[in-house]
């Protein structure tokens, strides 16, 4: 839409310049040249201002996209590192939250859907891990009080089962998001 508006204003400016040249040639338009000349100059200035503003807006959008791309890439690298260490920690997604809350997710267009799938999986993982931690702690207390099984053994079995079920799928999605961010054009 902005390109069409820009073309419209440039065309209108060119028509104004042609009219201005015709006015200069014709002697019957002498008194109108005093009025129309400044109007054409003002109009051309407005058009140039609109064009300059559009170019500046696009430059700022490109810089914001580059900033968020680097932020997400750094975050994905950190997520992969934490996830591969098997520490059963919640995966931080502050960069993604920042991108969503700023409204700049629109800068990523089609890639936003793919990134959202990955981060939805990470949020699901975090939710499941919170539930699992609460369950493990509750079972730990019950087992400790009953003295049936060594609590640490039971706890590690539950966590190992959880990790083995989720590990490859989420890791592949995070690696896919990393590849997508690396290939993204700015």
105 neighbors 112 (Cβ within 8 angstroms): yes
Assigned token pair, 113? 């859907």
Residues 20 and 34: their CA atoms lie apart, in Å, by 10
Give residue-wise pLDDT tens across range 91-125: 888 989 998 888 888 888 888 888 889 898 889 88
> 177 or 40, which is more confident?
177
pTM, full prediction: 0.67
Give residue-wise pLDDT tens across range 66-99: 999 999 999 999 988 888 887 778 888 898 999 8
Domain edges within the chain: 2-183
């Amino acid at each position: 839409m902005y390109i069409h508006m820009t073309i419209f204003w440039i065309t209108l400016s060119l028509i104004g310049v042609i009219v201005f040249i015709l006015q200069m040639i014709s002697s019957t338009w002498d008194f109108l040249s005093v009025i129309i000349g400044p109007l054409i100059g003002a109009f051309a200035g407005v058009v140039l201002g609109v064009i300059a503003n559009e170019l500046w807006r696009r430059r700022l959008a490109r810089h914001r996209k580059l900033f968020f791309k680097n932020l997400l890439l750094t975050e994905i690298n950190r997520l992969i590192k934490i996830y591969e260490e098997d520490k059963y920690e919640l995966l931080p997604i502050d960069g993604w939250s920042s991108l969503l809350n700023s409204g700049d997710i629109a800068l990523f267009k089609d890639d936003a859907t793919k990134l959202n799938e990955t981060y939805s999986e990470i949020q699901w993982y975090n939710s499941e891990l919170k539930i699992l931690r609460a369950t493990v702690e509750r079972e730990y207390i019950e087992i400790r009080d009953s003295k049936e099984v060594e609590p640490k053994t039971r706890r590690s079995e539950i966590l190992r089962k959880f990790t083995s079920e989720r590990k490859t799928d989420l890791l592949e999605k995070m690696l896919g998001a990393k590849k997508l961010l690396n290939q993204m054009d700015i």
